[in-house]
């Protein structure tokens, strides 16, 4: 993907693609995943497309990463009694399909879902 081609997340931020938005601030947007892997599956995405992976974000803007974690916690408190997994996929081999940093908030009864503890 070229730098001039906006990601699907950039298109959601720009309201070019609809999403079921659950939280939004000046810096972050959070919306339900369209292919949920758990009863609660929300993506937390910084509005900037500057970072493709969490390690880049952590090195360059730790305050924005902290905001993402805080939003994830708030969503988990509201949707799954504060119990959740927070997953960042980094790289294609790790399952990352959109190269705009994002976190997956996974919650609900994971023991019964596809993400049961192993």
Q: Which residues are catalytic?
A: 102
Q: Give the span between the Cα atoms of 51 and 35, in whole angstroms.
A: 23
Question: What is d(CA 30, CA 25) in angstroms, rounded to the nearest whole number?
Answer: 9
Give percent helix, percent strand, percent coil of the chain, each to the nearest 5. 30, 20, 45
List residues bridging with 31 in a β-sheet.
21, 43
- As a whole number of angstroms, the distance between CA 114 and CA 92 comes to 20
């Amino acid at each position: 993907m070229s730098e001039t081609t906006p990601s699907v997340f950039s298109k959601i931020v720009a309201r070019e693609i609809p999403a079921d938005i659950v939280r939004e601030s000046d810096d972050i947007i959070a919306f339900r995943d369209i292919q949920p892997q758990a009863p609660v599956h929300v993506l937390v995405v910084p509005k900037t497309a500057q970072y493709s992976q969490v390690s880049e974000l952590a090195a360059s803007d730790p305050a924005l990463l902290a905001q993402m974690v805080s939003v994830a916690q708030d969503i988990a408190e509201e949707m799954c009694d504060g119990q959740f997994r927070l997953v960042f996929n980094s790289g294609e081999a790790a399952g990352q399909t959109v190269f705009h940093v994002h976190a997956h908030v996974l919650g609900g009864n994971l023991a019964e879902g596809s993400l049961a503890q192993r």
